[in-house]
Amino acid sequence: MILGKKTALALTVALLSACGGGGGATVLNISAVEAYRVADKTVTFAYIESESPTVSTLNTAFSKAIASAPLHDYWSLVDMGGDVFEVQLKQPPKDAVIGTSEGAHGLVLPASETTVPTTAASHSSTPSSTTTVATLPKGTTTTVVGNTTTSVVSSTTVAASTTSPTTVAVAEVTTTIAHGDDHTETTVEGAETTVSAPVADVVLLRACITKEEGRWTPANHACESHESGAGNGDAHAASGGSTDASHASSDTHWSYTGAEGPNAWGGLDESWTTCVDGSAQSPINVTKPIGKDVLNPVVEYMSGEAEILNNGHTIQANAAAGSSLMVNGSTYALAQAHFHSPSEHTIDGVSAPVEVHFVNKTTDSQLAVLGVMVIQGKENKAWQPLVAALSVKKDAPVKAELDWAAMLPQDKTTFRYAGSLTTPPCSEGVSWMLLKYPVELSAKQIDAFKSAYSGNNRPLQLVGDREVILDTTPTK
């Protein structure tokens, strides 16, 4: 559902007690133009960073823009395709903690008609439904049978559910609605009404960022739908095997754009909920790391024949047995390497044209990923065999001889943190080691990566209370 150009005058989020009692509520007023403010700040920060901001720059700028926004943990920048991005404020879950208040959240809307759209439905067998909350004069009696409401004057649409109460009020008029087959009759008296909280994400506010005449521009309305068609970012994930340690083995369709993009991953498959409710997700912006003298990773990568394949989301090089990585007393076997363009991680808000992930795996399936940033410079002969194979077609893998060790920078100082896979199912418990120093490739070599896949980078995730370490041990 697209909101179009109707916007509410204001939102009020009521933070109720965890027990659902009526003992006073903390109220957070949010202007309905707050989404536009975030969009405007995003564009401003992007142009401060660069005269020609890329999509990655826009994502970084968005992270800065929401830092001071109300409910900053519940904002999303959704890639709608075609250089169109939508800023969205999502309804907080009932068990979220904001400030010192925890419990259910309520949404209070003005008397004007406003439609609150939901995000894309998941591929679930449970049918979706909506409930109409009517704006009625005080003292009016409204009858609700199942999902049907009588005496509707003007309405606000929210996602239906059967659990977790949420407060919804329209100016000074309210009604209490019950879902199900039983008949409920309620007299409207006060300024508070209770309905079931949405199970799916509910988008409270939207604004749009589009590229007009080559320049990013914010707008105070929702975006038109720009779902991507078939293309590099909209292919089925490979069924995967033991070497496909970074991508989903599910047959569920996912993408980097549109209705199946990063913000929808958590609802596309019941085993992917970590993508939306995880607390240690990747990638992140690395900034102000804590310097610690920790053991350097011992990289023992060998030359060997690799299988280069196109898995529908990136080009992946599966390593032959024999290469290993030792860190924190554990030995990991190099499984594969793949790339993202532009980079998924940023360092102090700066992205790179390409980021390559060397995925290493223990015998009990623990993962350690060595991330390498790629910047423009001289031609890199060690990378050329892989570059030459980047045009590989789906279902037609090719072989290439790769010198894995020579593909890494000489100085292996790393940033380290606990994170996740950056693609569905977004599993956590991944040991991340992002190399501080990049490797140089020529402009032509970098263009080969971009020609294979571009825009296959997950947006930055919140760091939260995670510790990001900079290894200060001198490297040999």
CA atoms of 40 and 47, how far apart (whole Å): 11
Q: Which residues are catalytic?
A: 313
Name the burial class of residue 259, with classes exposed (0-12), middle (13-18) and buried (19+) by CB atoms within 10 angstroms of its CB.
middle
Phi, psi values for residue 286, rounded to 5°: -85, 115
Rounded-to-integer distance, Cα 447 and Cα 449, Å: 5
Tokens of 53: 């901001």
DSSP 460: P
Longest CA span, the chain:
80
The DSSP symbol for 388 reads: H
Residue 464 CA to residue 77 CA, distance in Å, equals 18
Q: Enumerate residues 6+ apart whose C-beta is below 8 A from 184.
A: 143, 144, 145, 176, 177, 178
- The whole-angstrom separation of Cα 60 and Cα 287 is 12
Q: What is the DSSP string of 89-157?
A: EEPPPTT-EETTEES-EEEEE-SS-EE--B-PPPS-SSPP-EEEEE---TT-EEEEETTEESS-SSEEE
CB 276 within 8 A of CB 267: yes
Tell me if 302 sits within 8 A of 407, measured CB to CB: no
Contact (Cβ atoms closer than 8 angstroms) between residue 308 and residue 389 = yes
| Cα(60)–Cα(54) distance, integer angstroms | 10
* Residue 332 CA: distances (Å) to CA of 79, 297, 361, 431: 35, 11, 5, 11
Tell me the C-alpha distance between 267 and 219, whole Å: 28
**Pairwise CA distance, residues 198 & 94, whole Å:** 9
CB 332 within 8 A of CB 242: no
Read off the amino acid at residue 78.
V
